[in-house]
Amino acid sequence: MADRLVLLGVGSKEDFDAGVLRTGILKAVRHLKVKDLQRLGVYCPGVGELSDEVQAIVEGAVMGTFSTGLYKSENSEPVKIGELVLVSDSDVSGLKNRVRNRAEEGLILGESINLARTLTYEPGNRLNPLGFASRASDIAAECGLDLQVFDRKKLDKLGMKALLGVAQGSTQPPCLVVLKHLPGPDEEKPIVLVGKGVTFDSGGLSLKPSASMEEMKGDKAGACAVLAAMQAITKLQAPRNVVGLIPLVENMPGGTAQRPGDVVETFSGKTVEVINTDAEGRLILADTLAYAVESFSPEWILDIATLTGACVVALGHLRAGFFVNDTKLAEAFDRAAGRSGEKLWRLPLDHAYRKDLESKIADVKNVGGRWGGAITAAKFLQEFVADTPWCHIDMAGVESFPANGVLEGPTGFGVRTLFELAFDR
């Protein structure tokens, strides 16, 4: 017998899909004032044919247990669910395994998404680059991922001067986390996932205005999405070789900070004139992308980053922007995003935009002009992937739920699409 009955309105029939259901369940769980739910039942008619819905219900329920009160000394206990029961009115005996697998997938993905949300929400003083690497190391040990951490000395030896330049104004040392899930044969080219990990972005000497600067603790959301996706990819045993690369820095305006006008030599050998120290994400990604190309000869590379305010101007808080230089990868990406339900919109990479990045003193400068800032940022990244099929997601607008909405805090955006991509064939 149930003590409480929650009636969940999920809007119009035409708009109903797995995403609506996931968010609906998430909100329902959040609104339950019981902290320790012994049992939660969800009545889902017709579940036999609706295994997408089974996954969505479990994912939503798990996501509903996330709390933003990480450091509250009282009443901060998040909701915990003891048992989740799915109640169906149709005969599911023949489909039990399939349904159960989707439930398991929902559980693991939901937990990974919550991991991304928690890490993204951590303040800059609580999670610096080495702290992130140590959390990544715990996760890797727990789920069986291979992990290496390149420290400052190693990065210097490799010649990652663009990454090091960003980090040099901070007292916190930078690092690069390398995660490997290699179940396939050695000769199989891996896919590489790269996530921007700026644990705090003050802008450096091109200092950001104080209003909303605190939000820049979320400038590591891409890194969190890659770590969390790698966790789910390993736990659910994706059949292909996947490498995750996470460059981590803090961007600060200290006395040793890099100056506007400085010229750095990147891992690829190309030189960059640093016009604006607040365009730091593309600098750390430049070295990481070039390293991915050289070290892994990947089948393709995907990077995900809270890269530009311009992308937020273009697409608002509903959709992330994405760029892709290869038709086959574009198709795989569409399939993955379709399955994940995450909202993205393709933006262009015309060669003509490249001229905005011409520098007098170096091969390229790190910012374009006033217009098309999300695109010129992508054009900058493209300089460092050579001919490798590559996709770039700019998630600056979707890292957090919009202010004043029912939902608040970090979204965990990207985990689902990256996960789906690793299972695409």
Write the single-letter amino acid at 307: L
Q: What are phi and psi of 74, to 5 degrees?
A: -130, 150
Considering only residues 54-113, where is the footprint of ligand BES by CB under 6 A? Answer: none
Alpha carbons within 13 A on the beta-carbon side of 146: 7
Is residue 359 at the binding interface for ligand BES, with CB under 6 A as the rule? no
Which distant-in-sequence residues (6+ apart) come within 8 Å of 233 by Cβ? 181, 242, 418, 419, 422
Residues 242-281: x where in contact with ligand BES by CB under 6 A, - otherwise, as a string: ----------------------------------x-xxxx
Active site annotation includes 208: yes
Q: By three-state DSSP, how is residue 235 classified?
A: helix
Q: State the CB neighbour count (10 A cutoff) for residue 349.
A: 17
Q: How far is CA 417 from CA 49, 225, 234, 293, 332, in A?
A: 23, 10, 15, 22, 11
Binding site for Zn ion (CB under 5 A): 198, 201, 219, 278, 280-281
Q: Which is nearer to Zn ion, 106 or 373 (CB)?
A: 373
Q: Which is nearer to Zn ion, 280 or 287 (CB)?
A: 280
Considering only residues 368-397, where is the footprint of ligand BES by CB under 6 A? Answer: 373, 396
Cα–Cα distance, 78 to 254 (Å, whole number): 38
Q: Tokens 């069986």 correspond to what residue?
A: 144
* Binding partner of residue 308 among Zn ion, ligand BES, none, CB cut-off 5 to 8 Å per kind: ligand BES
Q: Which is nearer to ligand BES, 348 or 369 (CB)?
A: 369
Give the residue closest to ligand BES by C-beta.
309
Cα–Cα distance, 112 to 244 (Å, whole number): 15
Closest CA to 61 of 101, 100, 25, 104: 25
- Which of these segments, 42-50, 117-125, 239-247, 301-309, binds ligand BES (CB under 6 A)? 301-309
Q: Which is nearer to ligand BES, 201 or 420 (CB)?
A: 201
* Binding partner of residue 395 among Zn ion, ligand BES, none, CB cut-off 5 to 8 Å per kind: none
What residues act catalytically?
Answer: 208, 282
Residues that bind ligand BES (CB under 6 A): 201, 219, 276, 278-281, 306-310, 312, 367, 373, 396
